[in-house]
A = this chain, B = another copy of it.
Amino acid sequence: MPSDVKTLEHMTLDLDHFLPYRLSILSNRASDAIAQHYSDRFGLSVPEWRVMAVLGQTPGMSARDVAQRTAMDKVQVSRAVASLVDARRVKREGDEADGRVTRLSLTAKGQAIYDEVVPLALHLEEVFLAALTPDERRTLNRLMDKLTDRISHLHVIPGRSE
Asked if A19 and B11 make an inter-chain contact with CB atoms under 8 angstroms apart, the answer reads no
Contacts of A18 in B (CB 8 A): 121, 125
Question: Is A26 an interface position by the 8 A CB rule?
Answer: yes
A contact residues, total (Cβ < 8 Å): 70
Bound form: Cα–Cα A106–B15 in Å: 17
Contacts of A121 in B (CB 8 A): 13, 18, 20
Contacts of A162 in B (CB 8 A): 123
Which residues does A use to contact B, with CB under 8 Å? 6, 9-15, 17-20, 22-34, 36-37, 40-41, 53-54, 56-57, 69-71, 111, 115, 118-123, 125, 127-132, 136, 139-141, 143-144, 146-152, 154, 156, 158-159, 161-162
